[in-house]
Structure formats: C-alpha cells, structure tokens
Amino acid sequence: MLIRRPDDIPPDEITPEAVYRDRRRFLGAAGTLGIGLATGLVSTNLLACAPGEVQESAGGEVEAGGQPALPDEVTPYETATTYNNFYEFGTDKEDPAKNAGTLRTRPWSVVVEGMVKRPATVALEDLLKGITPVERTYRMRCVEAWSMVIPWLGVPLRDVLARVEPLPSARFVEFTTLYDPKQMPGQRGGVLPWPYKEALRLDEAQHPLTLLATGMYGKTLPNQNGAPLRLVVPWKYGFKGIKSIVRIRLTDKQPRTTWNDAAPSEYGFYANVNPAVDHPRWSQARERRIGEFRRRPTLPFNGYGEQVASLYSGMDLRRNY
Ligand SMILES: Nc1nc2c(c(=O)[nH]1)N[C@H]1C(S)=C(S)[C@@H](COP(=O)(O)O)O[C@H]1N2
Ligand SMILES: [Mo]
C-alpha cells in the first residue's frame, strides 16, 4: 500500500495552479530573452563530482522575480533513469543506463553488523519483511548543481534499524555498495576508491525523512538508480544517496566516506544542501532543475529545514560542510 506522509513535497506544492501559470509565463519570458537555453546547455556540461572544469553560467541567469519558492514538478521517469551518477558503470550521465544491465540484483543479501543487538546476513526480502512501505516525492539536489524531483518507494531507514536494535554505544551508520568488478565494470578502473561507502550520524539515519528505497515511480528501482536498495536523504547532496547497498554497519566512530576521502576539500561528511557554502569550484546558490532552462535558487537543507535543521543546532555548518 502506498502512503503519502506530510513530509513529502505537499501535493499543492508540486504544481500549484497559480504558480504554474506564473511559471509558464516566466519560461516564456526567458525563452524570448534567449538566455535560458544557454544557461541550460552550460549546466548540461557539468562534469560529475570528479575533479574537472566546471563552468558557471556567465551572467546569463534571471532572478525569480521575488518569488520565494518555485513549483516542484515530478521529473519525467525517462529523465530520472537516463541521467545518472553511478560511477561503477561509468562517469558519463548516460553510462549507467547503458551499462548497469550487468548488475544481478537477485538474489541480494545485506549484512547488518557492528554495534547492533541483532547482527545478521539476510536476504533483502527478509530485511524489509513486515515493514510498511512508503511512497515519498522528494527533491534531489546533486552537488554538481542540478536537481530532480523523484517519487521514491521504500521504507524508512529507522524501521530497519529498529529491527536490528542499535546498541547505546552506536553513533553512526555506514553503508557499503557491492564490490564486484565483473558486474560493475567501473570498478576495474581507479576513478574512485572502491567499494563506494557513505555514512550518516545515527540521528540522521533515524530521521523519518531518511529512506531505504527499493523503487521509484511506482516500479522496482532500475539498476542505474541503485537497485535493489539505495539510500535517500533528501536534505543532503545526492552523493550521500549510496546505491546497491550490501552492508550496513553501526559504529561509534565517524566512518570514512568515498567522496570525502577522494576530495576532502570539496566534499564533506555532512554534505547538507547549503546555498551559502560554495563548492570550491562552483557556486551552490542555484541549481538547474533537469528539464528547466533557467536556474532556480537552492534552498537550505534542500527545502527540508523545518524538519531537519534541529539536528544541527549549535553546529557550525560552514566548518561541518
Ligand atoms: N554506489 C554509488 N552510489 C552513488 C553514486 C555512485 O557513483 N556510486 N553517485 C551518487 C551521486 S553523485 C548522485 S547525485 C546520486 C544519483 O542518483 P540517481 O542516478 O538515481 O539520480 O547517486 C549517488 N549514489
Ligand atoms: Mo551527485
């Protein structure tokens, strides 16, 4: 059964009619000015998180006319499944859709280990059995300054954690992607240290917005999107959303994470979406919603601040980026 919770993008925010009319008018205006398209093309060339030349559009942006938040429309399925970051299958956006067919997602087992009362190696179905699935439509903001809106299917990570019972000493949760260069050709090269790893603080992992996704758009997760199990943390940059998870480990020490290891000055552990903290090589103030021509302002915590900002009270979010 699909349940919509209030922490989704509220349906009236997905396409409020008045704003939608406004937006069409606005897009029309941008087109007439002939600058929206140029901005879009520049953003399309953003290289993935890897070191490389990233160009900021040169003064071609139009402000949102004082409108605080633009409407969110669900990104077309075709787009969300053909424009991907999944370096295990190549570094170009179209590579995962072309190459991820070699990933065998069944059978799939997950190791849950470390500081838990009930460590286990279980078939994915058993890990999730009995947990009420949810459907949540979330904005997804890549650190490369593009974004989408994706309806996920999955379970709250907190429900899975409750099942394995974290010990009182546990403070972090680490996730690991499958390592198998036969199935994942990108792992034969050294573009990243393999296997891909990510981690959350335990309270972030237990936040009700945090999902383990098994599907999107009402269907099973396509391989290129991280089948059969991927993390979704909507207030953080997309690279925290680790794909094809085989291991979940609870620990008392902050785990190392792949992008932070690869480029510590560019990608932090927290990676909360923050328009006020630029990436060293580009601005994070705006983003290109895939399918739109002009950039829109990036929202603090990707628009989920009301729900999650309290997790970070008292923390310096410039230092803990
Ligand atoms: N294992 C693994 N997980 C990963 C990545 C990756 O390269 N390998 N890329 C990350 C990045 S940078 C982003 S933006 C999202 C992209 O998810 P999507 O392709 O489903 O949109 O996946 C994240 N998870
Ligand atoms: Mo990303």
Model pLDDT for residues 17-64, shown as the tens digit of each residue = 344 344 433 333 333 333 333 332 223 222 334 433 333 333 333 334
Residue 139: name the closest of 204, 210, 234 by CA. 234
132 Cα to the center of ligand 2, angstroms = 29
Residue 124: name the closest of 215, 258, 209, 47 by CA. 215
Please give the Cα distance from 134 to 117 (Å, whole number): 26
Task: State which of 85, 105, 216 you would mutate to test the pocket of ligand 1, scoring each by most atoms of that ligand within 8 A of its C-beta.
Answer: 85
Look at residue 123 and give its three-state secondary structure.
strand
Task: State which of 214, 243, 244 you would mutate to test the pocket of ligand 1, scoring each by most atoms of that ligand within 8 A of its C-beta.
Answer: 243
Contact by Cβ (8 Å): 257, 236:
no
Flag the least confident range among 28-42, 120-134, 234-248.
Answer: 28-42
Given a cut of 80, is residue 10 above it in pLDDT? no
Q: What is the mean pLDDT of the chain?
A: 85
In 157-207, beta strands by DSSP E: 172-177, 197-201
What phi and psi, each to the nearest 5 degrees, are found at residue 261? -65, -40
Q: Which two tokens stand for residue 87?
A: 């370096």
Given a cut of 50, is residue 14 above it in pLDDT? yes
How far the first Cα of the chain sits from its last, in Å, is 37
Q: Which atom of ligand 1 is the closest one to the Cα of 86? A: 7
- Compare 43 and 247 and report the one with higher pLDDT: 247
Residues in the ligand 1 pocket, defined by CB under 6 Å: 49, 84-88, 142, 177, 196, 225-226, 238-239, 241-244
Given a cut of 80, is residue 4 above it in pLDDT? no
Which residue do the tokens 């790893």 mark? 197
143 Cα to the center of ligand 2, angstroms = 5
Please give the Cα distance from 193 to 251 (Å, whole number): 21
Task: State which of 91, 200, 239 you would mutate to test the pocket of ligand 1, scoring each by most atoms of that ligand within 8 A of its C-beta.
Answer: 239
Q: Span 239-243, mean pLDDT?
A: 99
Given a cut of 60, is residue 152 above it in pLDDT? yes
pLDDT for position 69: 73
Share of the chain above pLDDT 90, in %: 78
29 Cβ neighbours under 8 A, 6+ residues apart: 62
- Compare 63 and 79 and report the one with higher pLDDT: 79
Q: Span 82-103, mean pLDDT?
A: 98
pLDDT for position 9: 75
Q: Which atom of ligand 1 is the closest one to the Cα of 216? A: 20
pLDDT for position 56: 33
Contact by Cβ (8 Å): 241, 230:
yes
Flag the least confident range among 65-69, 151-155, 190-194, 273-277.
Answer: 65-69
- Compare 206 and 38 and report the one with higher pLDDT: 206
Cis peptide before 6 (omega within 30 of 0): no
Contact by Cβ (8 Å): 244, 229:
yes
- Compare 257 and 30 and report the one with higher pLDDT: 257
Please give the Cα distance from 80 to 96 (Å, whole number): 11
- Compare 61 and 287 and report the one with higher pLDDT: 287
78 Cβ neighbours under 8 A, 6+ residues apart: none
